[in-house]
Amino acid sequence: MLKRLKLIKRCLQVMAISDQWASYREDDVGKAQKVKDMILSDLWWDKVDYILEFTAPIYDMLRVADTDKPCLLLVYEMWDSMIEKVKAAICRHEGLEDDQYSSFWSVVYDILLDRWTKNCTPLHCLAHSLNPKYYSIEWLSENPKRISPHRDHEISMERSKCLKRYFEDEDELKVVKFEFATFSGGRFPSLDALTDRWALQPLVWWQYHGSAFPILQTLAFKLLGQPCSSSCAERNWSTYKFIHSLKRNKMVPARAEDLVYVHSNLRLLSRRNEEYVNTSKKMWDIAGNSWNESDIGAGILENAALT
């Protein structure tokens, strides 16, 4: 809401100083005067800018995580970076150094930490540990506070929990531990595997260089391609609700599942047709008959890009 107010700031100010504003004031003079004082106050807009500045990293992180893209391997790092950016914005506004105490940052940090404690799982730490990028010199040199995942105590403890639960056989677990020690230590059969940790995407790296660690490679394929949001499931539920309604509630589950499968795939296939882009049927699954070119600025395409 504040972001939208910032975008139309000039329009709001013109509205408050216009002659027609007096007609609104007759309804509630006190409320109208309060609104006008806020809109025309530079101090109030500075507060809006401040809120947007330190909440932007939180919003951006949630937007990245709430997609169908495989980002399970990025959550732990995104969370750490987000906390650092929020702290930097608050300290910069209060004129403090990073090591100085801020009562407001303390409150914000407690809220973020509670949320992270609630949502963090060992899978986040294991996926983070299997990302070759986080062992590269290029990534570590970007920030002097960064350390490799195998040197982080919290990540190591959570990774161990996950591996012990996943590999119940003791002999197989020992092999996995040896493979991870070799992988994290950078002892690869070729020099290209060492330099490609930064250059290649994680899944591509494991496909090309992961044959030296067969068990870890299989595990990496399962984890590094996983999304970390339920958005895809929620869209599937919406499709299911469209098919299995109160008027059509006698269908057996197998028939309903088949119809959902067919409907979802037909929607994906329709986006490849010329009609979807250039004819009257374009964007039918985003806004239907209400689609309008002028609505692009309203963020419809931004939301649709998540499907």
Query: What does the block give as tokens for 253?
Result: 């589950």
Residue bearing the bigger pLDDT, 141 or 19: 141
pLDDT digits (tens, 9 = 90+) for 250-298: 888 888 889 888 988 888 888 787 777 777 766 666 545 554 544 444 3
Q: What local confidence, expressed as pLDDT, does residue 286 receive?
A: 57
* 284-297 burial code (b ≥16 CB/10 A, e <16): beeeeeeeeeeeee
Most confident stretch, 37-46, 68-77, 188-197: 37-46
Percent of the chain with pLDDT over 70: 89
Type of residue found at 69: K
Query: What does the block give as tokens for 119?
Result: 């949502």
Average pLDDT of 111-120? Answer: 90
Average pLDDT of 161-174? Answer: 92
Percent of the chain with pLDDT over 90: 47
pLDDT digits (tens, 9 = 90+) for 220-237: 998 988 888 777 677 777
Distance CA 218, CA 211 (A): 10
CA 157, 163, 165 angle in degrees (round to 5)?
Answer: 105
Residue bearing the bigger pLDDT, 280 or 137: 137
DSSP letters of 45-98?
A: HHHHHHHHHHHHHHHHHHHHHSSSS--GGGHHHHHHHHHHHHHHHHHHHHT--T
pLDDT at 43 over 90: yes
Residue bearing the bigger pLDDT, 211 or 66: 211
CA distances to 64, 128, 184, 222 from 199, rounded to whole Å, are 21, 17, 17, 21
How many CB atoms neighbour CB 148 within 10 A?
16
pLDDT at 148 over 90: yes
Residue bearing the bigger pLDDT, 156 or 239: 156
Find the DSSP H helices in the chain: 2-7, 9-16, 21-25, 29-39, 42-65, 75-94, 103-119, 122-129, 137-141, 153-166, 170-184, 191-199, 202-209, 214-223, 231-243, 253-270, 275-278, 300-304
Q: What local confidence, expressed as pLDDT, does residue 186 receive?
A: 87
The average confidence (pLDDT) of the chain is 84
